[in-house]
């Protein structure tokens, strides 16, 4: 009987398990009673290139709409087709029913190292606790989780018809990340994309229409992120420093080194589908990002340009050029749950885009029997193929032997569906 060879991800998991066991053994032998031995206690520098490598010189794979757990068993109400003309109920269902595991499982088991959250304002609470459209398909019309009634930013995809999420409140999502980060302090810097949702894509009564975000909403977003991850943030001020603009800093290679950014999180304002409104409204009155948390997705030539969206990786030359100039680029290996396009997936990684998003960090046989998106080599991240130094290896970006805290544990027309 022939035993199949392990996949690259399985090999990485095996390496991590062995490394964790070895660390625990070393800690148990060498540490005084009750004192955990530090990671890398052999005396060797666990990351000898950390003072050289910068956070724009790595490449990660992560999930699009990372909170998304799929549709309810009853599916979509037929009236949803009125909001998406030209698409059948079957097409809309297929595009919306991709499913992600809880956040800690994605990080531990699937090599996910960046995430995307759709965020809705709900300062009083209860704004999205009712979904009357679900009565069409005989489903409960009240959200079961009591968090829907609490004040605070909510994380989900489409009002009423697609509110299934692994963490209802943004602070809950961020809390799960902080817990994992505390247990894995050697992790590479995470890049978290926030898509602000204030466009009424449903256009359906009795759901009250959404209204554009205002200054208070953006301030609440900053405050909620700081309330959970305040000492773990990389902000525009950190990168800009004394440069006249943020763009000037990144074009002069001023991104933080890995030594200065391990265990931290960088947040990106996706600025999706709003004709630049979310970027412009998020800026301070003087056009700066002083005191802000998020880096707006912008365009080269803007003073705030540090992160650029290039959603179609087949525009290979453009992305590679942006990476060489110093920008961080986000692209998508697949979109609207369309799988099997290996050329698109491979182009995403070859382009040098630092952020490669997917709906399929593992195969979903309902869509395609084998399609998945993995960082080449099967590691959670790798050296950027466009701008990293030749001596860099994937273990210089994140090494499972130096990831966990000793003694700690972790949980084992238009684009119709947003970005």
pLDDT in the model for residue 339 = 86
The span from the CA of 112 to the CA of 50, in Å, is: 21
The span from the CA of 233 to the CA of 266, in Å, is: 6
Check whether 79 has a pLDDT greater than 70.
yes
Check whether 336 has a pLDDT greater than 90.
no
Check whether 278 has a pLDDT greater than 50.
yes
pLDDT in the model for residue 414 = 30
Length of the chain, in residues: 419
- Indicate the pLDDT class of residue 206, thresholds 50, 70 and 90: low
Over range 13-34, report the average pLDDT. Answer: 40
The HSE-up count of residue 243 (CA atoms within 13 Å, CB side) is 21
Stronger pLDDT, 130 or 211, i.e. the higher one: 130
The span from the CA of 30 to the CA of 288, in Å, is: 51
317-328 pLDDT, tens digit per residue, is 999 999 999 999
- Indicate the pLDDT class of residue 314, thresholds 50, 70 and 90: confident
CATH 3.20.20.190 for domain 58-402, yes or no, is yes
pLDDT in the model for residue 235 = 98
pLDDT in the model for residue 338 = 85
Check whether 413 has a pLDDT greater than 80.
no
The span from the CA of 282 to the CA of 272, in Å, is: 13
Stronger pLDDT, 29 or 258, i.e. the higher one: 258
Over range 86-91, report the average pLDDT. Answer: 95
Which of the residue ranges 12-26, 172-186, 334-348 has the most confident prediction, judged by mean pLDDT? 172-186
Which of the residue ranges 81-85, 203-207, 242-246 has the most confident prediction, judged by mean pLDDT? 242-246
The span from the CA of 122 to the CA of 129, in Å, is: 10
Check whether 27 has a pLDDT greater than 80.
no
Quick one: what percent of the chain has pLDDT higher than 70? Answer: 84
Check whether 369 has a pLDDT greater than 70.
yes
Scanning 64-189, the segments in alpha helix (DSSP H) are 89-96, 103-109, 170-183
Instruction: Compute the C-alpha angle 106/160/170, nearest 5°.
Output: 40
Record the pTM: 0.88
Query: Where on the phi/psi map is residue 65: left (φ > 0), alpha (ψ -120 to 50), or beta?
Result: left
Query: What does pLDDT average to over the chain?
Result: 87
pLDDT in the model for residue 260 = 97
Q: Which is nearest to 249 in space by CA: 257, 236, 240?
A: 240
SS3 409: coil
Count CB-CB contacts under 10 A for residue 194: 24
Q: How far is CA 151 from CA 63, 131, 147, 270, 404, in A?
A: 26, 18, 8, 23, 34
């Amino acid at each position: 009987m022939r035993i199949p060879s392990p996949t690259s991800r399985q090999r990485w998991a095996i390496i991590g398990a062995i490394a964790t066991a070895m660390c625990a053994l070393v800690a148990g032998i060498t540490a005084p009673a009750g004192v955990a031995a530090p990671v890398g206690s052999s005396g060797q520098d666990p990351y000898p290139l950390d003072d050289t490598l910068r956070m724009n010189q790595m490449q990660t794979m992560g999930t699009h709409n990372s909170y998304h757990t799929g549709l309810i068993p009853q599916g979509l109400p037929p009236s949803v087709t009125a909001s998406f003309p030209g698409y059948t109920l079957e097409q809309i269902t297929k595009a919306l029913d991709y499913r992600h595991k809880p956040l800690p499982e994605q990080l531990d088991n699937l090599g996910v190292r960046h995430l995307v959250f759709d965020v809705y304002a709900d300062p009083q609470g209860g704004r999205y606790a009712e979904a009357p459209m679900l009565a069409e398909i005989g489903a409960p019309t009240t959200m079961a989780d009591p968090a829907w009634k609490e004040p605070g930013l909510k994380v989900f995809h489409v009002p009423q018809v697609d509110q299934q999420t692994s963490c209802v409140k943004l602070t809950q999502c961020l809390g799960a990340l902080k817990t994992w980060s505390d247990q894995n302090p050697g992790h590479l810097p995470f890049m978290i994309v926030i898509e602000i949702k204030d466009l009424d894509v449903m256009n359906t009564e009795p759901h009250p229409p959404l209204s554009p975000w205002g200054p208070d909403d953006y301030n609440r977003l900053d405050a909620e992120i700081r309330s959970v991850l305040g000492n773990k943030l990389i902000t525009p001020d950190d990168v800009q420093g004394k440069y006249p603009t943020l763009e000037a800093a990144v074009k002069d290679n001023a991104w933080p080194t890995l030594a200065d950014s391990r265990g931290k999180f960088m947040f990106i304002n996706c600025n999706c589908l709003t004709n630049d409104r979310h970027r412009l409204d998020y800026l301070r009155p003087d056009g700066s990002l002083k005191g802000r948390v998020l880096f707006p997705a912008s365009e080269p030539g803007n003073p705030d340009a540090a992160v650029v969206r290039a959603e179609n990786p087949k525009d290979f030359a453009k992305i590679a050029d942006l990476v060489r100039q110093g920008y961080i680029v986000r692209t998508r290996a697949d979109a609207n749950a369309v799988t099997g396009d290996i050329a698109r997936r491979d182009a995403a990684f070859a382009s040098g885009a630092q952020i490669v998003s997917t709906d399929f960090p593992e195969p979903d046989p309902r869509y395609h029997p084998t399609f998945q998106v993995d960082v080449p080599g099967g590691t959670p991240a790798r050296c950027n193929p466009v701008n990293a130094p030749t001596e860099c290896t994937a273990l210089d970006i994140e090494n499972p032997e130096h990831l966990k805290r000793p003694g700690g544990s972790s949980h084992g027309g238009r684009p119709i569906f947003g970005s």
